[in-house]
Amino acid sequence: MGKQRFCELVAPAGNIEKLEQALRYGADAVYLGGKDFNLRAKSGNFEFDELVSAINLVKSKGKKVYLTLNSLLRNSKIEPLTEFIKEMDKTKLDSVIVSDLGVLSLIKEHSSLDVHISTQTSTCNWRAAREWYKLGASRVVLARELSLEEISEIKQRVPEMELEVFAHGAMCMAYSGRCNLSLYLASRSANEGACTHSCRWKYYLSEEKRKDEYLPVFEDESGSFIYSSRDLCTIRFLDKIYNTGVDALKIEGRMKGLLYIATTTNVYRKILDLIESGASPELIEKVISTIEPELTTYTNRGYTSGFYFGYNTLDTQRYKDLGYDREYEIVAKVIEKLENTNDSYIIEVRNRLVSGSTVEVLTPYSKKLPDDLSNLKMKEIKVPTMIDPLNGEVLDVVSPTKRVRIDLDPALGINLEPSDLLRQPIGHYEQYGLH
């Protein structure tokens, strides 16, 4: 079967390092935010000069970059946003993501920038999508509450409008993220980018005449814990989403860590490539079974299929506890391969690293599938003696931020690349008597 329709993989970029990793691990486009006007005020985000540099970097890779301007606009923000839009119009930015009709009008009035409509608008039907198109938008990020059938119908009825849907990441307890809980409890508005994630807090009930007694809120046959959703994961039915005709699949997570960005982008890139190439369902299933465990290596709340198959069930909620599942952490990043050497590298330590311990190398999947699918699993190496490149000191234990040289045994046949990530299970150093 020949190559099928192209579908864009869009990954988050909370800072420049995450942006670089998103591109390296296979994103077709990244979305990012400046220091204002977006719904991730606590993300690293980019100063104006950093935005320009980031945009130029993305374009140099032949990829696309989208800027989030999706906070709700107050009167005091109209003038500064207008000036910001004019400056952004001078860059190579591909599109801006908006949720406010006033922001859309400012963009159309003061720039030639392309516009994507944010999921925050809760676009749930084809008439709404068509109206956004008439107002000048080229793409709408649909509400997360839609089923496969509803998405397919919107695409069929409004084929001229590009559709983007979420494929992976955190789910909000409010409809398409339009929440006032944080504003009410902490005076920080989620709709202006300052969400405190109050829905994830641990809650108790208190009865008026027994104020010192706190009753836990929990899930049983009498009621549902509605606050803390599991995370969305669509890897098992990505082909079904693809077949609705959507133009882009979005990974949530501008505030997520580097391990999350690299791993998730890597996994979805591999499966999407197989789908687009027309690979057989049997082969896709085998690859998914091999690489799906990668999606449990970083912080997550357990997984759900969201609303793609209809209304949520009790399994959608994280009602047993409010904790996170996490197995691995990044312990080092490969900075460079030393010239005139075969297997010597400079690595930057991110978490305590112990000589002699085993690490896994997280590297982008090859376009070509190996004959033995088990080779898709990340390679393991033992951390060799670590050497301070400045004074030659041999180090057995290295703390974060320090750069060291490692010399791998050529017999291993493992070639590291700059920006490869080395990971280990959480608490790995405890086996060496270190705490």
Residue 210: the pLDDT is 72
Comparing 342 with 100, the larger pLDDT belongs to: 100
The reply to whether domains 8-176+228-316 and 328-432 share a CATH topology is no
Q: Is residue 410 classed exposed, middle or buried when 0-12, 13-18 and 19+ CB atoms within 10 A define those classes?
A: exposed
Check pLDDT > 70 for residue 211: no
Residue 342: the pLDDT is 76
Check pLDDT > 80 for residue 91: yes
Residue 200: the pLDDT is 59
For the domain spanning 8-176+228-316, the CATH number is: 3.20.20.380
| 73 DSSP assignment | P
Lowest mean pLDDT, pick from 34-38, 90-94, 423-427: 34-38
Check pLDDT > 60 for residue 430: no
For 260-312, write each residue's pLDDT tens digit: 999 999 999 999 999 999 999 999 999 999 999 999 999 888 898 989 998 76
Rounded to an integer, the average pLDDT of 306-321 is 68
Q: Compute the distance between CA of residue 330 and CA of residue 332 in angstroms, rounded to an integer.
A: 6
Question: pTM of the predicted model, to two decimals?
Answer: 0.86
Long-range contacts of 401-405, Cβ-Cβ distance < 8 Å, separation of 24 or more:
401/348, 401/349, 402/348, 402/349, 403/335, 403/346, 403/347, 403/348, 403/349, 404/346, 404/347, 404/349, 405/338, 405/344, 405/345, 405/346, 405/347
Which CATH superfamily, name and number, covers 328-432? Answer: Translation factors (2.40.30.10)
For 221-251, write each residue's pLDDT tens digit: 444 444 567 899 999 999 999 999 999 999 9
Question: Which one, of 51, 54, 56, lies nearest residue 69 by Cα?
Answer: 51
Residue 137: the pLDDT is 98
Residue 309: the pLDDT is 92
Rounded to an integer, the average pLDDT of 89-111 is 96
Residue 2: the pLDDT is 44
Domain boundaries, the chain: 8-176+228-316, 328-432
**What does the angle CA 272 – CA 276 – CA 281 come to, to the nearest 5 degrees?**
80
Q: Compute the distance between CA of residue 359 and CA of residue 406 in angstroms, rounded to an integer.
A: 13
